Chains A and B, each alone.
Chain A
Amino acid sequence: MPPPDASSDVAISIRNITQRFGDEGAHDAVLALDDVSLDIKRGEFVCLLGPSGCGKSTILNIVGGLFSPTSGTATVAGRPVDGAPHPDQIAFVFQESTLLPWYTVIENFRIALKFRGINKAEWDDRAMVALRAVGMASFARHYPDQLSVGMRQRVNMARGLCVETPILLMDEPFAALDEQTRMVLGEDLSQLLAARQKTIVFVTHSLAEAVFLSDRIFVMTARPGKIKTIIDVNEPHPRSPDFMLEPRFSELRNECYALLRDEIRRTVAAQRDPQPAGT
């Protein structure tokens, strides 16, 4: 493995990260990540694709500084993360809506900007710009529970954008949505990002989502998670839904599936009774 790239076009660098949950040797100890290294370039959209439980979200949480890895280092913009969030560099968009139900949409944005230490005078402008970008400006005074799941996740995404960090970490943001809403939001995301030059790490187990959104797809193995292959998707952003109809889209999707199939089998096998030999 070469030394970390010193040039400034690397936004996120992970070196030899191992993550163990529980005490070593304990019967319930889990090795989530095994010696993972990867570099993510500035302005790149990267998907972490893998079977459930392969440690995709763990990578995200380590990069985001929500906890420290058992061993190894993560570097963001040249600074080691060391288990502390860098809210000036990184914004998170989580799977479930993390909007606070006791605040209206606009209040949720204000709180996010306040947490980040943004000047109060900028709060409402920034919030409205981000809300307009996802077409939710007229819902600023609604409470999250008054919105549908899809609308909430749109707002949630906008909140991640309004803090204007160079890096966005998205942990299965569309997992709770139905297929159609998911596709529309994916297109919106591609549009939004083309204009913003952000570095995105996007965790998903949807093959189509990964191919449609990513510049590069990091396909992971079953637990303990490692990077199995990196797939390049050479297609400029913003991507139109027509991209999904091209033969190349299906080829890439099939390639991902072929890579994942064995890993998914292994994951499932680990979760059921041992099979007799020879079957």
Chain B
Amino acid sequence: MDLLSAQSRIIQAGFLLAMGALWYYATASGGVHRLLLPPPGEVWKTFYGLIQTEEFWRSVKVTFWSITQAYFMAASAGILAGYLLTRSKLITDIMEPVLSGLFTVPLTLLLPIFILFFGIGPASKIAYGATYAFFPVALNTIAAFAHVEERWLRAAQSMGASRWSTFRHVLIPSAFPVVITGLRIGFVICFASVLGGETIASAVGIGHNISLSAEQMEPGRLYAWIAFVTITAVALNLLLSAVENRIVKRDRR
């Protein structure tokens, strides 16, 4: 780790500490009612109790299995659709604006329709998360494969490369970093959609527990769940960024 990144790590840690201190001060001074925001110690105690329950792990399992399934569908469908669309410039020109247009529509508005089709169980959240995450993956894949540099293709053609060789040695390596970025954005959206969907309408899962805790006026449990999701999200994001950086650095110098 060089000096700059060590320095920025310290600043990031300091920022988190400051947030925690602010949280502590806001609750200890009585400025914020403990029903709205309980003190950190209470949240920690609730959290510690929570992870000992079977219900906690059952909910975590439901949610993460939903995310996994949704993400797998979004990633494979997005890459496949994105690649196939770019096989024709005409189709790319027609479909790319349609997809990016659809992606700007807040698909949350369609969540009730997913519930109508797939019920209140995990299936609706999987379908919703998969649909939402499909767009960034497909759009990045289109960008990746539609803009492979003409000169590389021309050079490969002039050297007598077969279609497969061109795909393997030119198209794939050229598209790879952009597709990986799409996969990372897709994951973030998938994670947010499944949890968001669960919070709005679900009978199981982490999101369901969060909205239930709020409705039952159990702020300790509410914040314990939120803290758990936050920590998981930060950890996953760090992991994904590290993987992405490794791949992109290796492939694009």
Contacts and interface: CB of A to CB of B under 8 A. Distances in A.
Interface of A: 64-66, 85-88, 90-92, 94, 96, 98, 100-103, 111-112, 114-117, 143, 145-146, 163
A94 B173 contact: no
Contact of A98 (B154, B165, B173, B253): B154
A115 B160 contact: yes
A66 B170 contact: no
Q: Is the interface of B mostly helix, strand, loop or mixed?
A: helix
Contacts of A92: 155, 158-159
Given A100-B173, A111-B169, A117-B160, A146 B253 contact: yes
Interface residues of B, number: 19
A94 B155 contact: yes
Contacts, number: 58
A112 B253 contact: no
Given A115-B165, A116-B160, A98 B251 contact: no
A8 to B, nearest CB: 23
B252 A102 contact: yes
Contacts of B25: none
Where chain A touches its partner, the secondary structure class is loop
Given A94-B151, A96-B151, A100-B169, A85 B251 contact: no
A115 B161 CA distance: 5
Given A85-B157, A100-B169, A115-B159, 5 more contacts: A65-B158, A91-B159, A92-B155, A102-B173, A145-B253
Contact of A94 (B154, B252, B253): B154
Nearest to B156: A115
B117 interface: no
Interface string B170-211: 100110000000000000000000000000000000000000
B159 A112 contact: yes
A269 B252 CA distance: 43
Given A101-B252, A115-B165, A87 B160 contact: yes
Interface string B131-165: 00000000000000000000110111111111001
A66 B159 contact: no
A114 B174 CA distance: 19
Given A98-B151, A98-B152, A145-B253, A64 B160 contact: no
